[in-house]
Amino acid sequence: MGGEPWREMPSETWPLERIAQVSLVSFLVFGLIRIVLQKVIVPIVWPKFNDLDERVQKDFCVRCTSVVHSTITTYNSYWVLTDAHLAADPLRNVSDQHFMTASILSGYFVYDTLMVMSDLEVEEGAGGALQTMAHHMFVLGTLPVGLVTNTWAWAGSGVLTFWTEVTGPSLNMIWIIRTTLGDLHWSYPLNGLLFGLAFTFIRVFVLGWYTFNAGVLVYENWDGIDPDGPEGPLTPVVCNHAIPDLTPGGHGSCQFGFWLMFGIWGIGLIWVPAVFAKVYRGVSKFLSGGEDSEDEDEKKAD
């Protein structure tokens, strides 16, 4: 073992029944949080909420639920990202923390996809319905790779989950601040500016760097050989197939996982111009102390 403790650690595998149970509980809990917020908590804490259109009320509580999810998931995925055992062999090593993080994420993303599909017009005004649905499909596609084929645990539940969710609270605070305090309050452009800078740096450079290294890893293991590992050929051969074989053995999921990661990075690149435009409008409006008809139309759409 060469004095490397992580190579002595077993890669435990959750049974499909436990994955399904945690995912279902996650789906139900986040759906319940949204309903309780809309029907009970927010109307009491903020009485003006009752004067809003029901569609706006729903979207507001969806955003609040997303903040809860992003906070929980950022915390969970941080421990996956910093797990030396997972990082040492991203193609095969798994852990209980990885399974918990990905299972909670899977339940939430099924719930959130239903929320998006229930009002595509809102998403079109927010960041583009097509981009949002494509992003959800890519994320939902990555989950079976980590949960069922047991590959890319570190990249999926650590790298992608942490770096995409860490900006989630500030993203959703754009709508929350605008609804509660208004877009002329100083916190609105400040939050937008901080979000825009963080989002651009993370989605373009941080995830770009990780995606590049994931591609290198796939290339190095194309024939199932781990050049740095004592075990020689990988079992099973993980990178020799273009089409995923969603079995516990994980054949073919290595390359499939990389293309999904590349797709998520690509969606982030497409979003950057829209983020810049929204931040520019918010800051310009605050500095001018007024709002024009275009902003009013956007507010109604969002």
The pTM assigned to this predicted structure is: 0.83
Question: Which residue did the predictor score with more confidence, 243 or 58?
Answer: 58
Span 5-17, mean pLDDT?
Answer: 61
Question: Which residue did the predictor score with more confidence, 119 or 216?
Answer: 216
Question: Which residue did the predictor score with more confidence, 294 or 258?
Answer: 258
Report pLDDT for 83.
95
Report pLDDT for 224.
54
Q: Is the pLDDT score of 10 beyond 50?
A: no
**pLDDT confidence bin for 193, thresholds 50/70/90:** very high
Residues 151-165: tens digit of each pLDDT: 889 999 999 999 999
Report pLDDT for 142.
84
Each domain of the chain, given as residue ranges in start order, spans 11-287
Q: Is the pLDDT score of 1 beyond 50?
A: no
Question: Which residue did the predictor score with more confidence, 253 or 68?
Answer: 68
Residue-averaged pLDDT of the chain = 83
Report pLDDT for 233.
44
Residues 202-253: tens digit of each pLDDT: 999 999 999 999 988 887 776 655 555 555 444 444 565 555 555 555 556 7
Residues 245-287: tens digit of each pLDDT: 555 555 567 777 888 899 899 988 988 998 998 899 989 998 9
User: If DSSP states are collapsed to H, E and C, what string results for the chain?
Assistant: CCCCHHHHCCCCCCCHHHHHHHHHHHHHHHHHHHHHHHHHHHHHHCHHHHHCCHHHHHHHHHHHHHHHHHHHHHHHHHHHHCCHHHHHCCCCCCCHHHHHHHHHHHHHHHHHHHHHHHCHHHHHHHCCHHHHHHHHHHHHHHHHHHHCCCCCHHHHHHHHHHHHHCCHHHHHHHHHHHHHCCCCCCHHHHHHHHHHHHHHHHHHHHHHHHHHHHHHHHHHCCCCECCCCCCCECCCCCCCCCCCCCCCCCCCHHHHHHHHHHHHHHHHHHHHHHHHHHHHHHHHHHHHCCCCHHHHHHHHHC
Residues of the chain with pLDDT > 70: what percent?
78
Report pLDDT for 248.
53
Mean pLDDT is lowest, of 4-13, 82-91, 198-207, 279-288, for 4-13
Mean pLDDT is lowest, of 36-40, 85-89, 115-119, 231-235, for 231-235
Cβ contacts of residue 152 below 8 Å, gap of 6+? 90, 91, 142, 145, 146, 253, 254, 257, 258, 261
Residues of the chain with pLDDT > 90: what percent?
53
